[in-house]
Structure 1
Amino acid sequence: MKYKAMIAALSLLFLSSCLTDPWGDYGYPESNYKPILMERSSLESSVKLVDPQAIKNFGKIYRYNDLLFINEVYEGVHIINNADPANPVNIGFITIPGNIDIAIKNDYIYADNAVDLIVIAYDGQNVQVVDRNREVFPELPAPDGYYSSDLSERPENTIIVKWKEK
């Protein structure tokens, strides 16, 4: 009899755990980050070569010939002339909103521009986007992995290009 009562009690305990919301009355945990949005038209015209900038939040580093391409997370790519490794020269910055990764092949730079994959021609003085594949990548998730309620009333034709701590 004790055995049957124990099984019944354990069964009720296990079943009761299935009926509750793990987050209680508070809903899902809220992200500590706010999305920074950009309209698609602005995103597609945002890739430019500008003056050198200080490196603040670097990501991946890519070496090609005498140049170093250093990713500035979510912002773009620094171009460093490394012909003399003892005296590297910061020669420019390519603004690429939402950029996390680059690759270079046959003198073309392949980069993610938020959700798009772009191909950039760089001749030492200018950059030009020669190809764009739209919506190849998923949107950038919040760094803490949680949902942001700021996206619930999001304007149309906008793309997340980075996240900022609230």
Structure 2
Amino acid sequence: MKKIYFLLLSSISLWSCETSQLTDDSQEKAYVPVYESYDKIAEVKLMPEKKLLKSGKVYIYRSTLLVSEPGEGVHFFDNTDKKNPKRISFISVPTNQDVELRNNLLYVDNGLDLLTIDISDLTDIKVVNRMKDVFPYPMYPDIEGVKFVCPDPSLGYVVDWVLEDVDDPKCYR
């Protein structure tokens, strides 16, 4: 009887070990930060016009229409014919979420920094000031009630969060 009990107990313990090896219960869904280098997000440049995909704030400057595109930058349109604005150019400002216009100066966030851009000459737009570390580092996804991998500022700036299977995420919001 003891042999049967021993064999039964042994087979159950072997079966349970094998099952735990076949399924990885330690992984769970969590948001993982996507990084971009600080140098890359600091690249602000005037570019040829491009299609506007997601509109943000809109300003009128002289006969020019300025339309921000969150995460991308600012589009410039010739608004001389108000019924048919024409694309002129685009200022690429990676990670930009907000923009303000005052006189000839465009104020935009760029990662951790606040930029002042002189747009008085639309063919020669210049960054005239960069105030470093004005904005906080993105420490969590916009969604609440989720687990996520804690971001590491030494890896770069967080530009996005993706949902993945991960081992033991340490952060929760």
Name the larger-Rg structure.
2
Q: Helix, strand or coil: the match of 1:156?
A: helix
One-letter amino acid of the structure 2 residue matched with residue 148 of structure 1: F
For the residues of structure 2 that align with 1:110 and 1:79, how far apart are their CA atoms?
15
- Kept in 1: contact 2:141–2:161 (CA 8 A): no
In structure 2, the partner of 1:8 is none
Q: Helix, strand or coil: the match of 2:30?
A: coil
In structure 1, the partner of 2:39 is 41
Unaligned runs of 5+ residues in structure 1 are 1-25
Structure 1 residue ranges, 4+ long, deviating more than 4 angstroms after superposition: none
- Kept in 1: contact 2:105–2:118 (CA 8 A): yes
One-letter amino acid of the structure 1 residue matched with residue 94 of structure 2: P
For the residues of structure 2 that align with 1:110 and 1:92, how far apart are their CA atoms?
17
- Kept in 1: contact 2:33–2:149 (CA 8 A): no
One-letter amino acid of the structure 2 residue matched with residue 149 of structure 1: V
For the residues of structure 2 that align with 1:147 and 1:58, how far apart are their CA atoms?
30
| In the alignment, structure 1 residue 30 sits paired with structure 2 residue 27 | no
For the residues of structure 2 that align with 1:100 and 1:155, how far apart are their CA atoms?
19
In structure 2, the partner of 1:129 is 127
**Would you say how many aligned residue pairs link Structure 1 and Structure 2?**
136
Q: Helix, strand or coil: the match of 2:40?
A: helix
- Kept in 2: contact 1:57–1:72 (CA 8 A): yes
- Kept in 1: contact 2:59–2:67 (CA 8 A): yes
| In the alignment, structure 1 residue 55 sits paired with structure 2 residue 52 | yes
Identity %: 29
Q: TM-score, normalised by structure 2?
A: 0.67
Q: Helix, strand or coil: the match of 2:65?
A: strand
